[in-house]
Every structure is written in C-alpha cells, then in structure tokens.
Structure 1
Amino acid sequence: MVATASAVSLVSLAGPAAADPGVLVYPGMEIRQGNNLCTLGFVDVATRSAYTAGHCRGDGAVTDRGGNVIGHQTTFRDDTPNGAVVATDHMISDWEIIALAPDVAVNDILPGGRTLAFDPAVTPQRDQPVCHFGVVTGESCGTVDSVNNGWFTMANGVVSKKGDSGGPVYVLADDGRAVIVGMFNSTWGDHPAAVSWTVTDQQIRQDVITSAADTVPGPPAA
C-alpha cells in the first residue's frame, strides 16, 4: 500500500502568506529561502505540506524561482557535518517541513511526468537502481553504493551540484510511478549522498508528535 507522510497533518498551518493564484508546487521544483537555492523533495497533497533538505532553510518565506511565496518553514532537522570527515556509522538527519500557502496549487508529479509516491516498504538497498532529480543537474540515474546510518551514497551515473539539495531520490516502479527513497544531502567523497526517506519520515513523526504533546495545556493550577 502506498502511503504519504501523513504525520505532518499535526503541524499547524497557520501563518503562511498567500501566494499568487495559479502558482503550482510540485516535487523537483526550484525553491528559494533567503539566499539558498534548493530543490523540493516531496509534496504531501493531502496535508498540503512539502519537504526539502534542512540545510536549505533560510530567513523569510519559501518562494519559487519567480519570487512567488509558496509557504513557510515549520520545523527542521540538520546535523549535516560541515567540512568534516564522516564515518559511515554517523547519523545524518537533514530535512525541513514547509507548510504550503492556502492558495497555491499542489501536485505530486515530477518534472518528467511520473507521480512521486511514498511506500514505507521500499527502502534503499545496496546496488538498487535509483534516480535523482535536482534543479541544476536534472534527472540522473545509477545505483545505491552503500547504505549507512540514516543515509546512503550513490554511484554509476548519479550526479549532483549545489542547488540540487533536497531533491528526491527514487526507484522507478513498473506501474510508471517513482517511489521516493531519499532526499539529496551532499557528497561523501566522490559519491552523491542522500538521507533515507523512511528514516526521515520516522523522524518527522517523532518530532511532530513530540511538538504537539508539548503544546497540550496542563491541568489548571490548584
């Protein structure tokens, strides 16, 4: 059964500024936050939430390439090492939730025309054929090189450049869909690297549920 990252339905959508009617939000589109240019990784149509890399976060609203507001960041995790050598057992988390503006149009279709779906049973596996889409390099395909602690590397044709951060990594299914398995994070040596989407979804659920519990009012004072 294909599922969406429904945990974000607990995230408050209050506050995003309205966008111009007709602005379309979709996975694989170019987004900007402050001075950061990145790629949108996943769109949950049911909850009107979108996801990209946590290190893409910036001040102010999230916009498309034309400067149209598409939403606002709600929460993120980012422990991407900065210039450090990373061991394969090092946990890397790198995601951001974007609450979409109420009047943007949304879909879950990649620029190439495939629907981008989430199936928790589909996880990155060594030597698995995968593709990656980034706004700078477009779609490139290869294989999973290694699976590590919450992240994996790719080789044999997958390419990436600055601006591709947050872009979806997916398996091409026989039914014509693309099933997301990760979001592009950075490079490890010469290999493009992505955070696992299954692990990311688990972290989102944990953080959102914890946040919701923290906002529940306690009993009245005696």
Structure 2
Amino acid sequence: MRSSTIVRAAGAAATVVLSVVGLAALLPYSASAAGDVPSTSSVLAPDMPQAIAEPGAPPVPAGWIVSPGTKSGTPTLDSVVGVSAPHLTHTAVVRGTRATYQWMLDGRPVSGETDPTTVPGPEALGRRLTLDIAFTAPGYAPRAGTFHFGVVALRAVPAGWVSASPRVDGPARFGRALTVRGPVLTHTAIASGATVHYRWFVDGVAAPGATGPTWTPNQAGDLVVGVTVAKPGWKPLAFTLRLGWII
C-alpha cells in the first residue's frame, strides 16, 4: 500500500508528523494471523518522538524490520503488558533505526507512557488499551502501526487458589442445619489476603441473615448457596451449589 506523509516546514528540513502505511508494508513476513502483528496506525501520538526527514522522504524500508516485537501479558489491572524488542536487520541498526512507543487509552495518548511495557492503573479500567509503535531513522519518514491489547479488566482470582471446591452434605430439609464444607484455599491464596464469603438463597431471593457457611432452612422453596473467594480489587471466583427443594 502506498504511504502518505504530512510534513511541517522547519527551515531547510521538515518534521514528519504523520505517516500512514499498510500492514503489508510494515511487515515483510507473513505473520498477520499470529495476533502479535500491529495494525496500521494513522496518527503518531503527540508524545512519540519524531524523525527529521526531507519533504517527500520515503518511509523506513519495510525490509529493515524483521519483526516489530511480540505482545505479552493480559490487559488486567496492575498487571504488566507490553511488547518485546523488535528484530531489525544489520542495515537498519547501522542507519540508526529505532522504535518509539506511545500507550493509548480509547485512542488517546497516556502522558509519559512511552516505554514498551506498562502496568494499567485504575484509570484504565474498562477502557481500550493499545500501543502505537513507530520505526524512525534519519532521512526517512516513520513507519507506524498499533498493537491492540483489548479492554482493561479486573484481575480475576485464579481457580488454582482453591485446592478443594465447596460442597454440602445431606438433603435440604426444613429445620435441619446445612453446612458448606470448603472451599479449601491454598497457601498462596491465604497469603494474598483472599477470603471466603457465603450467601443462601430460597427461590432466588437472599435469605435474611444467611451469610455464613451454616444455615437452617426455615421456609419452603428451591435452595441455592453462593460461595465466593474474594480479594480486594480483583474479580471474585464464584461457586454455585444447587441443593434442590427444601422438604
């Protein structure tokens, strides 16, 4: 795909502020199905360093970029995400080619976030996280693209923190106490501050005061107990135990 460039005059030279290139031109190898390939970026973010090039200068040659880097991490709160270092040819290195980065939330640059890795904070929750990357070299226009990481979510309590799932012994009978046994938490879960919570429901309605592992049914209906393993700031791990009709 042909590239287009907008330049701003600066004496004898000009500063390239926008370079639009096709994905095929950005990557000289066929890895577009791998999920780690940046898509075309139409605008270089304001915080991204810009190369100096003569008006009409060609973009950094596609053949200089063996790989733009590989994505890693899951876009969850307080987790590290990013891309590995790019693989450039010897010619690219000799000619001073370098990669510059700008993290974006919902298409807007995050001030100061210009490293290849980042840790999403509370302000990123529920927003779309992307990373703009531009390859620059003296005398060439930038060749740019975007890595897409998805919407930032809460980190979830892992299922591996539970070594034994919760269970209830015996049928649901009116006036007979029932006790949830478990879940059994691992040492890691306990050390991380995870806690277990219970809630009993009859016909889909929370039973008043029934928030412990033991409860005595005092009304007829379909009995369910919800068990969650929670950690502040994380998405809880939930279990649903269906005990049937109270007899």
Q: Same fold (TM over 0.5)?
A: no
Question: Which bracket does the TM-score occupy, shorter chain normalised?
Answer: under 0.3
- Alignment TM-score, normalising by the size of structure 2: 0.23
Greater relative CO, 1 or 2 (CA 8 Å, sep 6+): 1
- Alignment TM-score, normalising by the size of structure 1: 0.24
